[in-house]
Amino acid sequence: MPHNLRTQWESEREGWLRVHPQPWSAEVEREYHERFSGAIERWLDAGYGSCILRRKDFARIVAEALCYFDRERLALISSVVMPNHVHALFLQNADWPLEKLLRSWKSFTSRKINSLLERDGSLWQEDYFDRIVRDEKHFANCVRYIPRNPAKARLHKGDSFCTRVSLHEASSKQGGAIFNPPLLATAD
C-alpha cells in the first residue's frame, strides 16, 4: 500500500476503535469491515502496491508454497494469488498457529522471489487480515468469493493464479462434514 493511504487508514481506524471498544455487536462489526477491510480490498483491487505477483513465475512460487503443507499443517480449501495480495481459505492444524503458518509462507516466498530479483528486503506487508469463519453461510460466501476475486478486481485472464478445491474434497478433508468450524480465511 502507498504509505500515505496506509497512514491515513491507520489513523482513521485508531480513532474509530477508540470510539467502538470491543466486544462489538454484529452491526458494529459489519461497519468496521465495510469501512476498514473494505477500503483495503478496494485499494488492492485497484492495483495499489507493486503488483509483483503479476509475474507468473512469482505467482506460481506463492501458489505452490500455499499448497506445500496441505494436509499436514493445514487443509487448503481455496486460494487465489492476485497481483498484489493472496486469499486463502483453509482449516488450521492446531499445532500450526496462524502466525507461524504465515511467517513460514512469507519468509519462504520472500527469499525465493527476492533471490530471483537479486535483492533482499521486505516483500510482504508485516500484518495480515484474517477472519474466523463462524457458520455455513460465511463459509459458502468465502468459497464463492475467492475464485471470483480476479473478476471483481477486473483482472485480465492470466493476471491471477487460482487454486480451487471442490466442496466435495473440502468435505472429505473435514471428515465428511461440509462445515466444521473453525475455518480461517486470510488475506494479505
| Rounded alpha-carbon distances, angstroms, from residue 123 to 7, 157, 162 | 19, 24, 20
- In 3D space, the residue among 53, 184, 65 whose CA is nearest the CA of residue 124 turns out to be 53
At 30-65, the pLDDT tens digits run: 999 899 988 988 888 888 888 999 999 999 999 999
The pLDDT of 164-168, averaged and rounded, is 51
- Residue with the bigger pLDDT between 144 and 113: it is 113
Distance CA 90, CA 96 (A): 12
Query: Residue 130 pLDDT > 90, yes or no?
Result: no
Tens of pLDDT, residues 82-129:
999 999 999 988 899 999 999 999 999 999 999 999 999 888 988 888
Q: Is the pLDDT of residue 162 over 80?
A: no
pTM: 0.77
In the chain, where are the structural domains located? 1-49, 51-187
What class, spelled out in words, does domain 51-187 have in CATH? alpha beta
Can you read off the three cell numbers belonging to residue 83?
A: 497481483
Whether residue 48 contacts residue 2, with contact meaning beta carbons closer than 8 Å, is answered with: yes
